[in-house]
Amino acid sequence: MAELKAKIGLEVHVHLTSLKTKLFCSCPADYINLDPNTDVCPVCLGLPGAIPVLNKEALRKALMVALALKCEYPKYLTFTRKHYFYPDMAKNYQISQYDGPGSMAIARNGSIKLGERIIRIRRINIEEDPAKTVYPTGSMLTSSYTLLDYNRSGMGMLEIVTEPDIESSKEAKTFLDKLRSILEHLGVCNCEIEGSMRADVNVSVEGGERVEVKNVGSPKDVKDAIDYEIARQRAAILQGLGVPRETRHWDSDRKVTVPSRAKEMDEDYRYFPDPDLPPYEITTELVKEINDNLPELPDSRIERIIKQYGISRYNATVLVMDKALADLFEDTAKTYKDYDKLSNLIINDYLRWINDKGIKISESKASSIHLKELLEMLDKGIITIKIVKEILPIIIIEGKSPREIVESMNLTTVSDEKLIEGIIEDALKNEPDIKEKIRKDPKVANYLVGVVMKKTGKRADPKLVNEIIRRKLNA
Domain ranges of the chain: 6-290, 298-408, 417-474
Query: What average pLDDT does this structure show over 83-101?
Result: 83
- Using CA atoms, how far apart are residues 78 and 15, in angstroms rounded to an integer? 20
Q: What is the DSSP string of 308-344?
A: HH---HHHHHHHHHSHHHHHHHHHHHTT---HHHHHH
Task: Check: CB of residue 354 under 8 Å from CB of residue 322.
Answer: no
pLDDT bucket at 381, cuts 50 / 70 / 90: confident
Helix (H) or strand (E) holding 467: helix 462-474
Q: Is 30 helix (H, G, I), strand (E, B) or coil?
A: coil
Q: Measuring CA to CA, how many Å separate 301 from each of 34, 122, 320?
A: 37, 26, 7
Helix residue spans in 380-433 (DSSP H): 385-398, 402-408, 417-430
| Mean pLDDT rounded to a whole number for the chain | 90
Top pLDDT among 407 and 18 is at: 18
Q: What's the angle, vertex CA 138, arms to CA 35 and CA 132, rounded to 5?
A: 40
Q: What's the angle, vertex CA 399, arms to CA 393 and CA 404, rounded to 5?
A: 90
- Using CA atoms, how far apart are residues 250 and 230, in angstroms rounded to an integer? 13
Top pLDDT among 443 and 58 is at: 58
pLDDT bucket at 170, cuts 50 / 70 / 90: very high
Q: Tell me how crowded residue 328 is: count the other CB atoms within 10 A of its CB.
A: 23
Instruction: List pLDDT tens digits, range 345-368.
Output: 999 999 999 988 888 888 999 999
Buried b (16+ CB within 10 A) or exposed e, 93-132: bbbbbbeeeebbbbbbebebeeeeeebebbbbbbbbbbbb
What pLDDT is attached to residue 19?
Answer: 96
- Global pTM value: 0.87
Query: What average pLDDT does this structure show over 6-22?
Result: 96
- Using CA atoms, how far apart are residues 389 and 404, in angstroms rounded to an integer? 16
Query: What average pLDDT does this structure show over 43-69?
Result: 95
Q: Positive or negative CA dihedral for 389, 390, 391, 396?
A: positive
What pLDDT is attached to residue 266?
Answer: 58
59: closest CA among 296, 276, 277, 280? Answer: 280
> What size, in residues, is the chain?
475
Instruction: List pLDDT tens digits, range 434-463.
Output: 777 777 777 777 777 788 778 777 777 777
Residue 70 pLDDT > 60: yes
What pLDDT is attached to residue 418?
Answer: 75
What pLDDT is attached to residue 416?
Answer: 64
* Least confidently predicted of 23-37, 155-169, 293-307, 414-428: 414-428
SS3 content of the chain, % helix, strand, coil (to 5): 40, 20, 40
Top pLDDT among 64 and 192 is at: 64
5: closest CA among 168, 232, 161, 117? Answer: 168
Residue 202: CB partners within 8 Å, gap ≥ 6? 8, 9, 10, 11, 164, 210, 211, 212, 213
What pLDDT is attached to residue 27?
Answer: 96
Residue 414 pLDDT > 70: no
